[in-house]
Structure 1
Amino acid sequence: MALEIRPGPVLADRTTLRLGGRALAEIAFDRPEEAEGLAEALAGLGGRPLLLGGGSNILAGDGELPLVVVSPRVKGEPVILRQRPAADRIRVRVGAGVKLQRLVAWLATQGLSGLGGLVGVPGTVGGAVAGNAGSYGDSLGAVLARVRVWSPETGLAWIGREGFSTAYRRFALPGVAGFFVVLEAELDMAVREPIELRQEMVRHLSDKKASQPITAATAGCVFKNPPGASAWRLLAEAGFRGKRLGGVGFSEKHANFLVNYGGGTGREALALVRAAREAVRGQSGLELELEVRVAP
């Protein structure tokens, strides 16, 4: 199949925060090899590319946006490879378009440990790799063995651990200056009893439901935790727990979650985020770094 080019999508319909105006167009594809046509397609459409998987972790602006949405839909069941890098590790390959929660649940049924802490985290595998998603001590970067990517610099390529770097909420490809697309990932997973994994995940999910607005229209955590501090605590101390502007506000449950309570706009959300950063800087002297991606 060739790349599928569609008229511009409304980002409010495609993001978990339910905010955002209309992009110029969308490029969608199902097979990794089709990514090789992206450079030509993007050049023809103009605009800045915005990679969109499950639509989480994005704060989009209003109105007509100079963006071209890129949607990799590389799915299929996760696969256990015969290769075993170490006696206690099993390698799994999964497409970037697979829902992260589908992968987390599947790994538990297979008795494969390392991502159970991410139960309840929205989005797709590709987005989780690109943002090095993490929770309860587990992260994609800790188990990522190889990643298949496309970028203007690398073309379509499998890249091992020596070719990428990960840090807190960060994944980088040295030599790649800007846009890249995660297409597939290979993970090295530890082996544990499935019943233990399921019980642990139930506890994690229960804790998250009690402390986070995981069923609300939210993009997840707005800010990264500064070294040695918690963003939610800094925001609460600055008076932003439950603070609203128009239809958006910081959650009462967790001060680092921005929620669209209905009828919110990107302008309101961005203004509230700016005000929160300024208040925290003024009170603590710490600069909060965004975890959500602002588009454009």
Structure 2
Amino acid sequence: MLTAVSLPSVRGKLTAEAPLAPLVWFKAGGAAQWLFEPQDADDLSAFLRGLDPAVPVMALGLGSNLIVRDGGVPGVVVRLGKAFARVTAVDPLTLDCGGGASGILVSSTARDAGIAGLEFLRSIPGTVGGFVRMNGGAYGGEVKDILVDCDVVLRSGERVTLPVGDLHYTYRHSELPQGAIVIGARFRGRPGEPAAIQAEMDRISASREASQPLRSKTGGSTFKNPPGHKAWELVDRAGCRGLTLGGAQVSEKHTNFLINTGDATSAEIEALGEEVRRRVRDQSGVELEWEIQRVGTK
């Protein structure tokens, strides 16, 4: 275990044994051994530079696409706060976005600036750091289509700017260095009329509301869409709609969503996901891959 003596001094907030369940959408899971909320980028760099390289570090955004296992997360969980949530226009088509900025803030700022092509970010419940790491996408758009470059603090504490080509994006995956934390990114769109951009955002919002269990304790899309298939259709065909395990359930509204119906443990949620994978494999021969990240110890 880490002790306070082994940690570098910080200007931000450092909390021992910090419960993570309140910070993630599933509202389940254990604690972070240490939760660090840096005051700014310099604070984060200095902390990581002074931290024992053997200590694991993980970034936490809005906690929307994440299962925190019940045993908690060893090492340090870094959560970017308001200092990292700013979005500003740097030219007529480009936004400079902090790693802690939400998709709603980015897309709304783009609308106000007459920048089209970023509307899909309105539908992703997360932050810029997570979008960049996972090549977030929805409704025909992906981060790889709009990213110019990103600012990253490496596990060593070094700050670097990586162009989009260095991330080697594939579907819901990047080659961002292990332990690196995205603190900013530049997104570039195309000229558009604010009214038309708002109309597209409204269309996306209405579609999400109609098809997804947005008012439930969920984690977003559970499995990646396999080539040539839609994950929800495979899950539905395997008879998993409404399937339960303890307090966890496959959503009846959208079968690629798992739900905490009240007091589910993370173990139940993850086990339900594995049961769905097994049933899909048996029924269709397709191996579903998790899209939701699962972190920590069981």
Paired-residue identity, %:
32
1:170-209 equivalences under 5 Å are 170-173=173-176, 176=177, 178-209=178-209
1:38-117 equivalences under 5 Å are 38-40=47-49, 42-43=51-52, 48-73=56-81, 74-82=83-91, 90-117=93-120
Residue from 119, 135, 139 that aligns with 1:136: 139
**Change over 3 Å in CA distance of 1:77–1:152 after alignment to 2:** closer
Query: Could you list the per-position Cα deviations for residues 103-129 of structure 1 after superposition, in whole angstroms to 9, with x for gaps in the alignment?
Result: 112212222112212323212111111
SS of the aligned residue for 2:206 comes to helix
Using the TM superposition, give the Cα deviation of residue 31 of structure 1 relative to its aligned residue in structure 2, in angstroms.
Answer: 1.8
SS of the aligned residue for 2:273 comes to helix
The answer to whether structure 1 residue 19 and structure 2 residue 28 are counterparts is yes
Report the residue type matching 1:60 in the other structure. V
Report the residue type matching 2:58 in the other structure. L
**Counterpart in the other structure of 1:294:** 294
Q: Which runs of 5+ in 2 are unaligned?
A: 1-9
Q: Distance in 2 between matches of 1:162 and 1:270?
A: 33
Report the residue type matching 1:2 in the other structure. R
SS of the aligned residue for 2:262 comes to coil
The answer to whether structure 1 residue 34 and structure 2 residue 37 are counterparts is no
Contact 1:213 1:253 in 2 (8 A): yes
**Counterpart in the other structure of 1:275:** 275
**Counterpart in the other structure of 2:261:** 261
**Change over 3 Å in CA distance of 1:293–1:76 after alignment to 2:** closer
**Change over 3 Å in CA distance of 1:130–1:200 after alignment to 2:** same
Contact 1:36 1:156 in 2 (8 A): yes
**Counterpart in the other structure of 1:222:** 222
**Counterpart in the other structure of 1:126:** 129
Q: Which moved more, 1:279-288 or 1:63-72?
A: 63-72
Report the residue type matching 1:30 in the other structure. Q
Contact 2:35 2:79 in 1 (8 A): yes
Q: Distance in 2 between matches of 1:148 and 1:40?
A: 16
**Change over 3 Å in CA distance of 1:154–1:43 after alignment to 2:** closer
Q: Distance in 2 between matches of 1:182 and 1:115?
A: 19
Give the 4+ runs in structure 1 shifted more than 4 A.
none
Using the TM superposition, give the Cα deviation of residue 78 of structure 1 relative to its aligned residue in structure 2, in angstroms.
Answer: 1.3
Using the TM superposition, give the Cα deviation of residue 99 of structure 1 relative to its aligned residue in structure 2, in angstroms.
Answer: 1.6
Query: Could you list the per-position Cα deviations for residues 165-216 of structure 1 after superposition, in whole angstroms to 9, with x for gaps in the alignment?
Result: 212111223xx3x211000001111111111111111111111111111221
**Change over 3 Å in CA distance of 1:241–1:47 after alignment to 2:** farther
Report the residue type matching 1:157 in the other structure. V
Contact 1:35 1:156 in 2 (8 A): no
Contact 2:49 2:157 in 1 (8 A): no
Report the residue type matching 1:239 in the other structure. G
Q: Distance in 2 between matches of 1:230 and 1:99?
A: 26
Q: Distance in 2 between matches of 1:252 and 1:72?
A: 34
Report the residue type matching 2:205 in the other structure. L
Query: Could you list the per-position Cα deviations for residues 57-90 of structure 1 after superposition, in whole angstroms to 9, with x for gaps in the alignment?
Result: 10111144424211123435311114x6xxxxx1
SS of the aligned residue for 1:39 comes to helix
SS of the aligned residue for 1:220 comes to coil
Contact 1:24 1:47 in 2 (8 A): no
Q: Distance in 2 between matches of 1:141 and 1:135?
A: 12
Q: Which runs of 5+ in 1 are unaligned?
A: 85-89
**Change over 3 Å in CA distance of 1:57–1:191 after alignment to 2:** same
CA RMSD of aligned residues (A): 1.9
Report the residue type matching 1:172 in the other structure. E
How many residue pairs get aligned? The number is 286
TM-score by length of 1: 0.90
**Change over 3 Å in CA distance of 1:134–1:162 after alignment to 2:** closer
